[in-house]
């Protein structure tokens, strides 16, 4: 295991120092937590990204989640997101180091047309398109905005035997957000990382995946 990450660090010494100082402040102010070391690295980066200490406790992990995410990254698994914001927020050099590609279909014309025809959401149709293209099995599915995307993924797992490597399910909002994450938590065989309740967002998903990238680099 390498002592110092290079690819998943800030590009300048000043930037690195600011980020490390921020992590130190989080560690100092967070109080007690029950997370294992690798899981805490993910939660800490989520707190760093939002300045919200409530994610100490709101963030939940399937027992195999962290290792599953690291192994998926090390083998170059794809990341399929519910919205473009996640794909834009992820560092291309960091992804490129592992050969990880991102996909999103929320704005595709055929997705929009099917959502209108079938009276569903674009997020549902986007996940169905990704599944039909064979992109979801073995991938990291990243949901930060649309609860209906997460519910569709759960349906595909339960009904169509979908087997993603990891779900990072953190949709934000008031309609079905908490419920979709509670349903994800019931998945026994599919690893997941979720935020409990209404809080979430694409920023958190990006932070969690960046933390997984750093953990993966440390294992290389």
Length of the chain: 220
Q: Is 104 a catalytic residue?
A: no
- Measured CA to CA, the distance from residue 120 to residue 111 in angstroms comes to 10
**Residues 204, 194: Cα–Cα separation, whole Å:** 10
Per DSSP, what are the bridge partners of residue 168?
142, 193
Question: Among residues 48, 62, 104, 210, which one is catalytic?
Answer: 48
Are 154 and 187 contacting, i.e. CB atoms less than 8 angstroms apart?
yes
What contacts 6, CB < 8 A, 6 or more positions away? 217
CA–CA dist 11, 185 (Å, integer): 36
Catalytic sites, residue numbers: 48
């Amino acid at each position: 295991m390498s002592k110092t990450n290079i690819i998943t660090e800030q590009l300048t010494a000043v930037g690195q120092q600011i980020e490390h100082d921020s992590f130190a402040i989080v560690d100092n102010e967070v109080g007690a937590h029950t997370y294992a070391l690798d899981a805490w690295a993910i939660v800490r980066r989520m707190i760093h990204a939002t300045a919200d200490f409530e994610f100490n406790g709101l963030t939940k992990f399937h027992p195999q989640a962290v290792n599953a995410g690291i192994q998926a990254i090390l083998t170059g698994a794809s990341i399929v997101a519910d919205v473009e914001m996640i794909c834009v927020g992820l560092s291309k050099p960091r992804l490129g180091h592992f050969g990880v590609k991102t996909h999103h279909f929320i704005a595709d014309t055929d997705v929009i047309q099917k959502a209108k025809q079938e009276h569903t959401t674009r997020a549902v149709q986007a996940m169905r398109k990704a599944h039909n293209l064979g992109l979801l099995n073995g991938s990291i599915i990243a949901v930060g905005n649309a609860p209906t995307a997460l519910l569709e993924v759960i349906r595909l797992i339960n009904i169509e035997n979908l087997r993603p490597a990891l779900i990072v399910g953190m949709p934000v909002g008031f309609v079905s957000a908490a419920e979709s994450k509670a349903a994800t938590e019931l998945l026994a065989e599919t690893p997941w990382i979720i935020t409990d309740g209404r809080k979430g967002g694409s920023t958190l998903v990006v932070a969690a995946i960046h933390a997984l990238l750093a953990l993966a680099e440390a294992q290389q």
